[in-house]
Amino acid sequence: MHGLQVSIDQDKCCGSGHCVQLAPEVFDQDPMSGTVILLQSAPTFASHEAVREAGAVCPASAINVMEPALSRGHRGIPSIAATISVGEGPAAVAFSPDGREAYVANYGRWATGAPGRTVSVINTDTRAVIATIEVGVGPSVLTVAPNGATVYVGNYGSAKAPGNTVSVIDTANHKVTPPITVGNAPDGVAVSPDGHRLFVSELGSETRLGTSMSVIDTATNCVIGTLEVGEGPGAVAITPDGTRGYVVNYGTPTDPAGTVSVFDVERNAVIATIAVGKSPGAVAVTPDGKRVYVANHGPFDAPGNTISVIDTTTNTVVATVGVGSGPGGVAIAKNGSRVYVVNMGGNDAPGSTMSVIDTQDNTVIATVDVGRTPAAIALSPDGRWAYVTNYGTNTVAVLDLNN
């Protein structure tokens, strides 16, 4: 079974009509009895989120939604192996290079006046939180140095009160060392493969959108340069050979047309700007460096549902892949065969799924449940496990990618 399937139990239906409101192309009601009529048992991809929601809200439990991955025994279809409780509003996750620890940035919840300021450290053998480290306010992104000695945490703060620091964690003792001062609202961090440079994008404040990145010498933790990129820069990724960087630019609140700035790492200069989907929120490079996958999250009140695929030779978009609502995080398998996208959703309808893309033909081959409002994903260095931060439930879902 390659697509989502739906069936109904008409005997249970009480005729509330919720399903028809949510997905009129899939459900109808009998004009006489008011009971549900199924128009499509294998709805098209565009209807999947609405069908899932119909199944969740049906007051009579009359709708059965079957995810392709939920039929057990499909080798290679990810499944949840464990769930780990972390801090409030986990927004980012990264593994140590040896795979023994995972670090989770707990962004918190500004909407309720409770910003986070911690990083949870998970022992990946026991799947227990072994340390909680205090960092700056509103940590939203983090990355681990290639030698595993340091974790860099971008303290985003909020749109009204942006932070301007990167916390530095010594992984040997889980203690912070003096932070690095950067521009407003650091919302993307990446270290060059040789470990010498740290790139930090600066999203800016509500009144003054950022357009820059700070370049930091990791030997001294001093800012040694800045780079002008697009409006509202966020996630950053560096190619495996260390020559190019790709940073997503959200655009402005009134014009969320998203772009990706491509920069030459050595020369510290932007060499191309590529139009992608609205408000792109995540980016990853394939292990061979030939493709870049960009998650077009879109504005929170009108989330997008696509991934842009960039050819790094021409720096052009060569494919656009339909995924779930509000794709918020992306990770690529060690062998480059799969791309995993977590669908965070938007303000009105939080997401709960992960799309699995086959990179050979850039098609979605499975959609699996991962938990409420999945915000970020990282793969273990051995390629076996995916850790997904579920922002809505303060948990990390551990998915077995081999199943």
Segment lying near ligand SF4 (by CB under 6 A), choices 11-19, 70-78, 120-128, 183-191:
11-19
**Of 3, 17, 322, 336, which one interacts with ligand SF4 (CB under 6 A)?**
17
- CB-nearer residue toward ligand SF4: 65 or 377: 65
Could you tell me which of 148, 89, 149 has the C-alpha nearest to residue 115?
A: 89
Please state, in angstroms and rounded to a whole number, the distance separating the CA atoms of residues 76 and 399: 11
Please state, in angstroms and rounded to a whole number, the distance separating the CA atoms of residues 327 and 211: 23
Is residue 16 at the binding interface for ligand SF4, with CB under 6 A as the rule? yes
Could you tell me which of 47, 8, 45, 52 has the C-alpha nearest to residue 30?
A: 8
- CB-nearer residue toward ligand SF4: 30 or 382: 30
- CB-nearer residue toward ligand SF4: 47 or 380: 47
Contact 182, 166 (CB under 8 A): yes
Nearest-approach distance from CB 36 to ligand SF4, in angstroms:
4
**Of 1, 2, 15, 224, which one interacts with ligand SF4 (CB under 6 A)?**
15
Is residue 24 at the binding interface for ligand SF4, with CB under 6 A as the rule? no
Please state, in angstroms and rounded to a whole number, the distance separating the CA atoms of residues 190 and 257: 23
Is residue 193 at the binding interface for ligand SF4, with CB under 6 A as the rule? no
**Of 30, 42, 56, 59, which one interacts with ligand SF4 (CB under 6 A)?**
59
Coil, strand or helix at 341: strand
Contact 68, 2 (CB under 8 A): yes
Segment lying near ligand SF4 (by CB under 6 A), choices 57-65, 125-133, 186-194, 381-389:
57-65
Is residue 62 at the binding interface for ligand SF4, with CB under 6 A as the rule? yes
Is residue 299 at the binding interface for ligand SF4, with CB under 6 A as the rule? no
Please state, in angstroms and rounded to a whole number, the distance separating the CA atoms of residues 32 and 274: 54
**Of 3, 5, 18, 257, which one interacts with ligand SF4 (CB under 6 A)?**
18
Please state, in angstroms and rounded to a whole number, the distance separating the CA atoms of residues 326 and 343: 5
Please state, in angstroms and rounded to a whole number, the distance separating the CA atoms of residues 91 and 103: 11
Is residue 14 at the binding interface for ligand SF4, with CB under 6 A as the rule? yes
Nearest-approach distance from CB 65 to ligand SF4, in angstroms:
11
What number of chain residues touch ligand SF4 (CB under 6 A)? 15
Is residue 63 at the binding interface for ligand SF4, with CB under 6 A as the rule? yes
Is residue 19 at the binding interface for ligand SF4, with CB under 6 A as the rule? yes
Tell me which residue has tokens 């001294």. Answer: 220
Is residue 337 at the binding interface for ligand SF4, with CB under 6 A as the rule? no
Nearest-approach distance from CB 62 to ligand SF4, in angstroms:
4
- CB-nearer residue toward ligand SF4: 33 or 314: 33
> Which CA distances in Å does 273 have to 249, 255, 259, 389, 401?
10, 17, 7, 30, 34
> Which CA distances in Å does 94 have to 99, 140, 144, 316, 385?
10, 12, 7, 28, 12
Chain residues that interact with ligand SF4, rule: CB under 6 A: 8, 13-19, 27, 36, 58-60, 62-63
